[in-house]
Structure 1
């Protein structure tokens, strides 16, 4: 989500990074003394003790649930009667002795007898394909492989009449779609050679090892789609390739099967509050006359939040049906032609509401302090055909993942108010400290965040505080189990720090006006919100004000780099995949389209607004020892940004280190690298924020 351009005063060449390599690290010092690397690895193992659960789907008739569970050697599809998941039986294309193949992404057909899923069985095939399980009675089934795919396959979805299954498909894919994965090494004609396009493809539900049939054209990269209620057309969000960059200028299309695409909405070409913003999650109304979608300022494809909008399926003027809401809708499903269930962030809670278009205030079905989803999209849920039951997995800082159900007619304000369907993680308790949702006001804004206590909390002692800023900026820290990424709040808590995860202006959860409040203001109002949060928790809890550190990844990495140029409040900092120079970043990253909505113009048209938020332009102010870490193939926040920052701090004689990790993109995948980042971060904080 971040980029830069090389002007005459910029001094970093991309090729300079190849001389940096990852080096192993043997020990880490904690606030309580010197700890071995093995101790940190034990903490990481403790973070991941819970059994994993993947996608989950309830059958349209509400009688069965399919879900994906983590087994000892693989991920397996399970099917069980609703309400009795203890009777779950495996559904697989594997042979009896094949324990290592994986299956995922379950989707029920409208008759509740057919289940589509992805798998790479039989063992020995790395390629995923679409499979179809047919249930004769009870849990007895037969399995047929439908596709002969050669590339990346994702998100199977039955047509409403059950005759076809559509899915996203990158034929001949050499890397995962999207900007988080490691970018290809730079070679050839940049931006033209080797561009991979994700399209909607489909296959007949009666096919056998069939080649996927493309639906959308090769000149459009499709991100999300939905079937029309008559099964004759699709609605989808798409843009010209390259797909990792152009989501921010994507349009909403409809297309009859066998026909050509029709753009019914181009946010860049309309007036009003949606102008130049992003769209996601198209959902066709039951009568086929309207399409609902999420529209708003979003900084990353897949991290969805905004208002709910509705447009005629023929095109025309879109209508905001949630104006001025103080929540961030992320996903929805139609109940009828004038009613929607909306899944959203409300402060620190995940919330489901029942909303009549043009009616009274939405009715809250549940609002729980945790993270929910069915494994498809942000906050997406699985529901019965009549919308009477919603099924999803949920986690919080206190509760590992389990599958839950919510009655549409009910009301719940915590996980205990939902129907828990699985008990795969009974008896597993967190190794980190308790959590609290904290709230404070700053400059007229209501700001929320999460505070984790030290694992061995003693109110008579003073503790260090680590402030962990989320990525985005349009994202949010939520109550969740275990570690998310290399810099983990539960891990810091397990090592006996207080941890504050703030959701400052620019975040989801407080409405679209709050999300847009940091436009042209990166590092200023959002930093003031964070510092106000630090003041709030330092005043209330036994925190040593001289042992406050700052860290974050992506946008959190930028905030770390910029904050140490604006304040000396933080005694140590760790910047993960940060951005130090917005001007040079504009020309370096692979996703520059996201910047126009935030900065108002390109760097070539308004360089001053980019310089205003560039840490490199305030580098003489830095006194805080800062560690920078980044992947060498990061396309979102390229490694030269960390190189610039490290180089400048070194020249300013500020304690600093730069670690570049090989073959890593924006999201690290190598467990050794993830461990090493945490080891180094803990040592850095311990060294420059020592306990008395």
Structure 2
């Protein structure tokens, strides 16, 4: 095992424990936008959970260089997606202040004042943007319920025919001066994303034939729309959806993110001529993964946020593929895209690492990009009280199979709270095409820091199939689901045991979504772990394929669907080997989860229960794949902490009522 420094050292200053309430009530910044003149930054502040039926969030303003942040809207509603007008005089944003839970479009002057509603409808609206000439606002809106549909629903005459009567997400244009709005994309075409041409006369649209989310893993199209004539024509097709469409300044090229290998993930940047031609990859050979793409100076060049290992870097990418570092920060994570001023000299985004909470940071660059500028400033400090409690974290590497080096993040207790060898919990990320980055890992979904503050070390591994290490690593699961990735995880745990950091008799394994799957798989393959937590996981790859909303995603990892060839799926399904389980397992799932059906957790629980294995299942009404309600986040995180406290002899968290792990006869 190789650490990023010669010796792991933890802070000598003891700290109090991170509480569950702190983590489920904290505020997070989102959607940073730098004004065209670079003087001001607008961003959204939203709590990580909601207490009521609807979200509440507010717009905030902070000067780019000096001065305090101030709240710009009240926070009584769900205000989001602030967008500066090209002249910098107005901020357009979305809000549900007219009808809670349904969004409309608003304008507010740069210097503050009353927000003006400029669109007379409300519904499912997102992807707000100005045309380059400032004449129009564009946005995507799901087709609203008709009066006839509303009357049928109220009569409860609401039989649902699957894959019929779809509601499409369509593109609207709003004339800012006249406030006249019209839908401009064709009927029965789902618009996933769009981008304005520099002339404000055309838009490029990423589209598919149905609104099924599964379409983004299949063949989709990019089309061109002329807003005056209404002419609509397909430019090209591709596997997966074209993400982050960007026009070149001269209107000749389109750039976008797309897959390089079999796995459908927007890992690379491509360009195509608008008038026709083949795709050209601008990031071929890149050893990381591109996660965000945007324009530099109205399309003069491109800006990419790429992850290399556990850390993010921001590059200026030329249209010929040359790339140069744009931001001096080369460690930590940028949460989403970064935003720049009109002249490309001032930039901002939301940044964190494992020892800093997410906040708004900004930096300057010279017009001569080769000169650079190391100025990087923190413009918000939302939770110093939480940041003061964060435990130290280190990047680590270890050897799995011969010649296979795996990377991960190790979070350790502070000195004074525990001494090595520590109890250890490994948390496996979802995806599987995702990663653990050097970022803030303390929430209902990321329990490394709250566990570490209670004396437990936590390993966050990036096994084969993860992003951040090039296309070969991303595509390494094809034909080997649950194979190399399982060995990568377990070998990381064994390396920490061998190094004297992990107690071999107090080991736990956990994960959410695909991490939940790999947790279930792990405890059917080894009895090395004393406790497990399976969150929103799948136990049966055949039933999961047919119950979830993205069955085509499996074709990134298997040759054929389970309808055509079920045996490879069944061979790597944990429930096939459930009789081997010896590890007590806590299972949790949202009851309205469409990505991974709650039936997956029920299956595994029932199978364990019949075999009289130690287990517990907790389900959460109204929750989908990600939890939103505050009481549910609080309950879930408390249960996870208490489960590992009980089985690994940790300091117990705030208590919740927990049933015995022994199954009952009735269930």
Scaled by the length of structure 1, the TM-score of the pair is 0.81
Contact 2:356 2:390 in 1 (8 A): no
Q: Deviations over 1:403-440 (max 9, x none)?
A: 1112345999xx99622223444565343421112122
Q: CA deviation at 1:554?
A: 0.5
1:351 paired with 2:308, answer no
Q: 1-side partners of 2:306 and 2:257: how far apart?
A: 11
The root-mean-square deviation of aligned C-alpha atoms, in Å, is 3.2
Deviation, 1:244, is 2.3
User: Which residue is equivalent to 2:214?
Assistant: 245
Tell me the CA shift for residue 326 of structure 1. 0.8
Deviation at 1:674, TM superposition (A): 2.1
Q: Label 1:540 to 1:330 Cα distance change in 2 as closer, same or farther (>3 A).
A: same
Within 5 A, what are the aligned runs for 1:123-522?
125-135=100-110, 139=111, 143-172=115-144, 188-192=159-163, 195-208=166-179, 212-249=181-218, 250-257=220-227, 258-267=229-238, 276-296=239-259, 305-335=266-296, 339-358=301-320, 362-363=324-325, 365-373=327-335, 379-409=336-366, 418-426=376-384, 428-443=386-401, 444-455=403-414, 460-481=419-440, 483-486=442-445, 488-522=447-481
Kindly indicate whether the alpha-carbon contact (under 8 Å) linking 2:169 and 2:211 is maintained by their aligned counterparts in 1: no
Secondary structure at 1:386 match in 2: coil
Q: Match of 1:526?
A: 485
Mapped pair 1:544 → 2:503: yes
Asked if 2 retains the 8 angstrom alpha-carbon contact of 1:467 and 1:550, the reply is yes
Contact 1:456/1:496 (CA < 8 Å) preserved in 2?
no
Q: How far is the alpha carbon of 1:457 from its aligned partner?
A: 5.0
* Contact 2:282 2:321 (8 Å CA) reproduced: no
Q: Per the alignment, in what secondary structure is the counterpart of residue 131 of structure 1?
A: strand
Q: How far, CA to CA, are the matches of 2:477 and 2:158 in structure 1?
A: 36
- Asked if structure 2 preserves the Cα contact closer than 8 Å seen for 1:455 and 1:495, the reply is no
User: 1:499, CA displacement in angstroms?
Assistant: 0.8
Whether the 8 Å contact between 1:286 and 1:334 is mirrored in structure 2 is no
The whole-number CA distance in structure 2 between the counterparts of 1:667 and 1:558 is: 16
Q: Shift of residue 111 of structure 1?
A: 1.1
CA distance in 2, matches of 1:578, 1:421: 38
* Aligned mates of 1:426, 1:659 — CA distance in 2: 33
Q: What is aligned with 1:8?
A: none
Q: Which moved more, 1:607-616 or 1:73-82?
A: 73-82
C-alpha distance 508-492 of structure 1, shift in aligned 2 (>3 A): same
Contact in 2 for aligned 1:333/1:340 (Cα 8 Å) = yes
Q: How far did residue 392 of structure 1 move?
A: 0.8
Pick one of 33, 57, 61 that aligns with 1:75.
Answer: 57
Give the distance between the partners of 1:392 and 1:105, measured in 2 at CA: 14
Deviation at 1:557, TM superposition (A): 0.6
Paired with 1:173 and 1:562, the residues of 2 have a C-alpha distance of 43
* C-alpha distance after superposition, 1:228-279 (max 9, x if no partner): 1111121222222233222212322222225254332322xxxxxxxx4553
Deviations 1:485-505 (A, max 9, x none): 345222222222111111111
Report how far residue 640 of structure 1 moved: 1.5
Paired with 2:102 and 2:206, the residues of 1 have a C-alpha distance of 26
CA distance in 2, matches of 1:313, 1:351: 29
1:129 deviation in Å?
1.6
Give 1:292 shift.
0.8
* CA shift in 2, pair 1:103/1:152, >3 Å: same
What is the SS of the residue equivalent to 1:636? coil
1:487–1:678 CA contact under 8 A, matched in 2: no
In 1, the alpha carbon distance for the partners of 2:634 and 2:262 equals: 27
* Cα pair 1:572 1:625 within 8 Å, conserved: yes
For the residues of structure 1 that align with 2:321 and 2:188, how far apart are their CA atoms?
Answer: 41
- Check 1:278–1:600 CA distance in 2 against 1; reply closer, same or farther (3 A cut): farther
1:43 is aligned to 19
2:494 is matched with 535
Would the aligned equivalents of 1:434 and 1:453 in 2 still touch at CA under 8 Å? yes
For 2:28, the equivalent position in structure 1 comes to: 52
From the superposition, tell whether residues 330 and 239 of structure 1 become closer, same or farther in structure 2 (CA, over 3 Å). same
Structure 1 residues 306 and 186: alpha-carbon distance in aligned structure 2, compared to 1, 3 A threshold: farther
* 1:283–1:614 distance in 2 versus 1, CA, 3 Å: same
Contact kept? 1:297, 1:515, Cα under 8 Å: no
> Which structure exhibits the higher relative contact order, with contacts defined as CA atoms closer than 8 Å and separated by 6 or more residues?
1
Cα pair distance change 1:405/1:488, threshold 3 Å: same
- State how far apart, in whole Å, the 2-side matches of 1:358 and 1:497 are: 48
TM-score by length of 2: 0.84
- Distance change (3 Å), C-alpha of 1:121 and 1:261: same
Q: Offset at 1:154?
A: 1.5
CA contact 1:299–1:472 (8 Å) conserved in 2? no
* Structure 1 stretch displaced more, 559-568 or 191-200: 191-200
SS in 2 for 1:557: helix
Maintained 8 Å contact 1:404/1:419: yes
SS class of match (2:97):
coil
SS in structure 2 at match of 1:472: coil
Cα distance change, pair 51–604 in 1 and its aligned pair in 2 (3 A): closer
Does the 8 A contact of 2:261 with 2:471 survive in 1?
A: no
Give the whole-Å Cα distance in 1 for the aligned partners of 2:472 and 2:511. 24
* Whole-angstrom distance in 2 between the partners of 1:429 and 1:81: 23
